[in-house]
Amino acid sequence: MTTAVLAHDRIKDFDWAPSYVPGSTRYPTKFKIPGKTKDPFRTLVREYLSMEQEKDERQYGALEDVLSRTGAAARSDRGWMEALKLVLPMLVYAEYGAMKNMAQLVETVDNPELRQGYLTQALDEQRHVNQELYLLRHFARHAEDSEGFDRGMRVRGSNVFGRASRCCFENYFVNDPIESAITLSVVTETAYTNPLFVPLTEVAAFNGDDVTPGVFLSIQSDEARHMANGYSTLAAVLSVDENLPLAQEAFDRAFWCQHAFLDPLLGALYMYFTPQRINYVEKWQEWIVDDWVSGYIAKLERFGLKIPKHFAHAAERLQWLPHTAAMVGAATWPFHWWRFPGLDERGMEWMEQQFPGWHAIYGSFWEGYRALQDPKAGMIPFQAFPAAPPLCRVCAMPTVFPHPGAPTARVVEHAGRLHAFCSQPCQEIFDNCPERYLQMRAFDEIFDGWGLDEYIVKNGLLRADGRTLVAQPHVDDTKPMWTIDDIAKLGVEIVDPLRVLAAQNAGAADDSAAPTDGSEG
Amino acid sequence: MAADATAKAPRDFTYITPRRRRVSEYEAVNLYGQPSIDGGWDIDPGMLRTPEGRPAWRVESTRLRHPDWFDFRDPSQLWQRTFTKLQAEQERSIERATEDAVAEGTFEDFDPVWLQEMARHYRVWSFVEWGLFRAVFSASRECLTDALSAAFTFEAFDRLRHAQDVVHYLLAIETAMPSFSDAGAKEVWLTDPVYQPLRELVERLMHVTDDWAEVAVVLNLVFDPIATETAVSRLIGRHAPLHGDGVTPAIVRTTERDRRRNRAWTEELVRMVTAAEVPSASANREIVSGWIESWTPAVVAATELLGAVHARFPQRSAEFSDLLKAVLSAQPDLHIDAEVGA
């Protein structure tokens, strides 16, 4: 036996069953955990440190040296910079949640072979948090329009999409710890880090951003080990027969929760912010269908695990999700900490060519968007809609998907309160465990009754001059910029649609002396 | 107009109140990754709940109270890049020292009884470090700010590093001297009466102590300064040269460096929660003092039993009772009263 194998065998023998105190049950799980499994992670501390130091030196060395001195950030496409303003603060929370997941698994999975893998992954996640915040700060210092990079972390918790991202990523550690591990490692890290990090680096490079690819490729190089952690955790869980139905249900929910936020987000980022677009649906086919489903999940079939229950539904609605998300994001542009570029004729042609039928659904919106870019127009696209849709109680996204012409939204009453859902799977997830969602306050429940101008001022969304908005409906500095005075003139108020609906229902009930709210449950 | 607006941009993170004049790299890459427990500008400490109904973070995860946990700064200012660099360098120094010892046949010069103690006592300590790694890693999950989370995560990594280094080192000796074996050390850890009170303490920290601040205070201000200082620094580090062993102290010194760092951040945590301007400073001071007072006698009693290890050494620098006295008199002075009264 080599010394490396001997060292590893001895290191695996560190754990012991406590005899002076009962074992801890800090993070209870409904799954049965076997005591033995294969160790996926034969990297010991010593090799790990050396490997990561080398990666850090390459990546930070480039950032500190050539890329800073040559002004690489300022040469990047302006729309792409806005996409990064949006996504980086959200991703930081995903990494942070992953770190917390590891610190829970070390308690729950009573298996010494996996424990050191969990700590090493936790340090990787700390690495990614630090890398992404470093990158944000790099752009805050060097991007042509830095405002937004300087405060994304501050405002993400009060933004409608920022809150949806938190909801998505809290599934990594605020749940049964094994279901969290399935969500993080089996779904996000194995399925979604590829369509996230790989096209992100491609799109960045297409759009003149030489800074981001180095950081994200370095992050992605840690992910293979995380996938191995996830696979081994799942294999351990599935080696106990009675876990299979629980694991399948957890897998079904985990996939849907990640799909519900990540697919609209990523699709909108890659197709609506830059002149060099990539077709996200094609990338999804490549990474999620061909690679994840046909490769990875096929391997899990021997344990009895099947493709997530709502996979076909997700694939079907994917066609329109990113477009609808982009439309909602653009319609609400003054609410955000990033600028939302419009679509020019070329962009609209690309959309129709790639997604036949696109123009009939979204064409008039984007034409209108262009017409409303100048503050003199005196209107924002948000005002063109009769009412804001309520937000989903499970994924926190607006209930307008897959597209406004064919919404799958529903509103139900539970425990004396109305709850909206974007889709049947989100409602199913709620019904399975409403306790997970009942304390959640939707964006429009928090800010109900606020003027849009008040929201912008109080949430720090004005530029250093104290009057120009950070957000703008374009990325062209030669065009006029919207100020808080322009917004105040609009008289837009944030309204909680569920409060309005509840009031209407109460009124209808009074009129007819019978409940006619059409709700279920 | 656009040019004017962007010309005055802050060009740095606007949401961090820097400890010094400018936002440091450490502050920029660590702070506000975690939402604040009292809502603050993050609105909610967490949006979802577990099936049992708990949120992401809970104010009751510690008995200590502070109006803003995000005030915490680790005095070492380490973040992942600088931590990894530091520890990679320490590991390389250990690897080189071990390689040289193998090449030079140094292990042959070690006193045979000393070698037995390396296989027994030093190897037992790898189990202690493993248990403490588990305790610290759990604390990292529940603490109420990202800067503390980083300090806990790094400390967990320190402890895993120490545990693994003992194994690597003894394996190098075994490779050089096939007669050497550390087999049986786990049994010693599990059954030898000398180590049982220590094991009970480690198990309490691993499985029972749910307050993350208590884990930090007990571990870094009581357990390490008394038990680890005695078992590793005094018994191994200082006695090695008396037994022809000039190699092991180089490994021990890297762990002492880590311990000083971990003690410093824990002292900073105590200073922060007992500072005069903190409304619950007085209650916090009593809680911290209570932890120290309630754990210290058991840690001292468990450490006293290590006199049996000392008694087996062929060469001794001092009586064990004097050695322990010196360790206890060097316990960190927390200055809690002075801070609160200031």
- Alpha-carbon distance B14 to nearest alpha carbon in chain A (angstroms): 6
* DSSP label at residue A446: H
The answer to whether the Cβ–Cβ distance between A481 and B5 falls below 8 Å is: yes
* Tokens linked to A352: 């129709």
**Among A68-82, A377-391, B104-118, B222-236, whose mean pLDDT is lowest?**
A68-82
| Letter string b/e over residues B269-284, b meaning 16 or more CB atoms within 10 A of that residue's CB | bbebbbeeebebbeeb
pLDDT at B194: 98
Span A46-65, mean pLDDT? 91
Mean pLDDT taken over chain A: 92
Task: For residue A462, report the phi and psi dihedrals to the nearest 5 degrees.
Answer: -105, 150
* Tokens linked to B340: 């609160």
Is residue B336 scored above 70 in pLDDT? Answer: no
Span A242-249, mean pLDDT? 97
The tens digit of pLDDT for each residue in A171-225 reads 999 999 999 999 999 999 999 988 888 888 888 888 888 889 999 999 988 988 8
Task: For residue B256, report the phi and psi dihedrals to the nearest 5 degrees.
Answer: -65, -40
Question: CA separation (Å) from A254 to A308, A309, A383, B47?
Answer: 9, 11, 35, 17
Spatial separation of the C-alpha atoms in residues A293 and A110, rounded to whole Å: 29
Nearest CB among A45, A141, A167 relative to B47 is that of: A167
Q: At what angle do helices A244-272 and A160-170 cross, to 10 degrees?
A: 150
3-state helix, strand, coil in chain A (%, to 5): 65, 5, 35
Span B85-112, mean pLDDT? 97
pLDDT at B314: 98
**How sure is the predictor about A41, in pLDDT bands with cuts at 50, 70 and 90?**
low
Show Cβ contacts of residue B22 under 8 Å, excluding neighbours closer than 6 positions.
B12
The answer to whether the Cβ–Cβ distance between A146 and B11 falls below 8 Å is: yes
Amino acid at A317: R
Give the DSSP letter string of B53-84. ---SS-GGGSS---S-GGG---TT---HHHHH
pLDDT at A302: 87
Spatial separation of the C-alpha atoms in residues B86 and B28, rounded to whole Å: 20
The answer to whether the Cβ–Cβ distance between B2 and A92 falls below 8 Å is: no
B:90-109 residues touching chain A, CB 8 A cutoff: 91-92, 95
The tens digit of pLDDT for each residue in B132-151 reads 999 999 999 999 999 999 99
Question: CA separation (Å) from A398 to A22, A122, A260, A329, B120?
Answer: 46, 33, 11, 10, 63
Task: Please tell me if residue B206 touches chain A, with a CB cutoff of 8 Å.
Answer: yes
**Cα R_g (chain B), whole angstroms:** 23
pLDDT at B3: 43
Amino acid at B236: I
Q: At what angle do helices B196-203 and B123-142 cross, to 10 degrees?
A: 20
The tens digit of pLDDT for each residue in A279-313 reads 999 999 999 999 999 999 988 888 899 999 999 99
Show Cβ contacts of residue A278 under 8 Å, excluding neighbours closer than 6 positions.
A199, A202, A203, A206, A270, A271
Q: In chain A, pLDDT over 70 holds for what percent of residues?
A: 97
* DSSP label at residue A30: S
Give the DSSP letter string of A277-299. ---HHHHHIIIIIIIIIIIIIHH
Span A471-477, mean pLDDT? 97
The tens digit of pLDDT for each residue in B244-281 reads 999 999 999 999 999 999 999 999 999 999 999 999 99
Residue A8, CB half-sphere, CA atoms under 13 Å: how many?
Answer: 16
CA dihedral A426, A428, A429, A434 (to 10 degrees): 110
Is residue A40 scored above 90 in pLDDT? Answer: no
pLDDT at B168: 96
pLDDT at A407: 80
The answer to whether the Cβ–Cβ distance between A158 and B206 falls below 8 Å is: no
* DSSP label at residue A158: G
* Tokens linked to A29: 């799980």
Is residue A49 scored above 90 in pLDDT? Answer: yes
pLDDT at B7: 52
B:250-309 residues touching chain A, CB 8 A cutoff: none
Is residue A124 scored above 70 in pLDDT? Answer: yes
Mean pLDDT taken over chain B: 93
B:121-180 residues touching chain A, CB 8 A cutoff: 126-127, 130, 133-134, 137-138, 140-141, 146, 149-150, 153, 156-157, 160-161, 163-165, 167-168, 171-172, 175
Contact B147, B30 (CB under 8 A): yes
Q: Whats the size of chain A, residue-wise?
A: 521
Closest-approach residue (CA) in chain B for A465: B5
Span B224-253, mean pLDDT? 98
Q: Residue written as tokens 């009772």?
A: B321
pLDDT at B342: 31
Among B234, B213, B225, residue whose Cα is nearest residue B333? B225
* Tokens linked to B87: 């520890």
**Among A88-92, B44-48, B292-296, whose mean pLDDT is lowest?**
B44-48
Task: Please tell me if residue B183 touches chain A, with a CB cutoff of 8 Å.
Answer: no
The tens digit of pLDDT for each residue in A15-32 reads 999 999 998 889 999 999
The tens digit of pLDDT for each residue in A434-447 reads 999 999 999 999 99
Spatial separation of the C-alpha atoms in residues A185 and A228, rounded to whole Å: 8
Is residue B340 scored above 60 in pLDDT? Answer: no
Is residue B306 scored above 70 in pLDDT? Answer: yes
pLDDT at A485: 98
Spatial separation of the C-alpha atoms in residues A127 and A131, rounded to whole Å: 6
Contact A88, A152 (CB under 8 A): yes
* Tokens linked to A258: 């990640």
Question: CA separation (Å) from B29 to A138, A177, A389, B77, B150?
Answer: 11, 27, 36, 11, 11
Question: CA separation (Å) from A483 to A57, A147, A335, B4, B55?
Answer: 43, 15, 13, 13, 38
* Tokens linked to A508: 């209808």
Span A102-121, mean pLDDT? 88
Q: Hey, which residues does A410 pair with through a beta bridge?
A: A421
Amino acid at A346: R
- Alpha-carbon distance A373 to nearest alpha carbon in chain B (angstroms): 14
How far does chain B reach from its first CA to its final CA, in angstroms? 51
Chain A residues in contact with B13 (beta carbon < 8 A): 136-137, 140, 150-151, 153
Q: Which ranges constitute the DSSP H helices of A332-393? A: 345-354, 358, 364-371
**How sure is the predictor about A515, in pLDDT bands with cuts at 50, 70 and 90?**
very low
Is residue B8 scored above 70 in pLDDT? Answer: yes
Among B162, B232, B161, residue whose Cα is nearest residue B198? B232
Interface mutation target, options A15, A49, A447, chain B, most CBs of B under 10 Å: A49
The tens digit of pLDDT for each residue in B279-292 reads 999 999 999 999 99
Query: Is the preceding peptide bond at B279 cis, omega within 30 degrees of 0?
Result: no
**How sure is the predictor about B36, in pLDDT bands with cuts at 50, 70 and 90?**
confident
Is residue A391 scored above 90 in pLDDT? Answer: yes
**How sure is the predictor about A520, in pLDDT bands with cuts at 50, 70 and 90?**
very low
Span A490-497, mean pLDDT? 97
Is residue B302 scored above 90 in pLDDT? Answer: yes
Is residue A424 scored above 50 in pLDDT? Answer: yes
Contact A337, A459 (CB under 8 A): no
Q: Whats the size of chain B, residue-wise?
A: 342
Is residue B4 scored above 80 in pLDDT? Answer: no
Is residue B341 scored above 70 in pLDDT? Answer: no
**How sure is the predictor about A137, in pLDDT bands with cuts at 50, 70 and 90?**
very high
B:27-46 residues touching chain A, CB 8 A cutoff: 28-30, 32-35, 41-44, 46
The tens digit of pLDDT for each residue in A334-352 reads 999 999 999 999 999 999 9
Span A363-381, mean pLDDT? 97
Contact B303, B226 (CB under 8 A): yes
**How sure is the predictor about A170, in pLDDT bands with cuts at 50, 70 and 90?**
very high
Span A442-464, mean pLDDT? 96
Span A316-321, mean pLDDT? 96
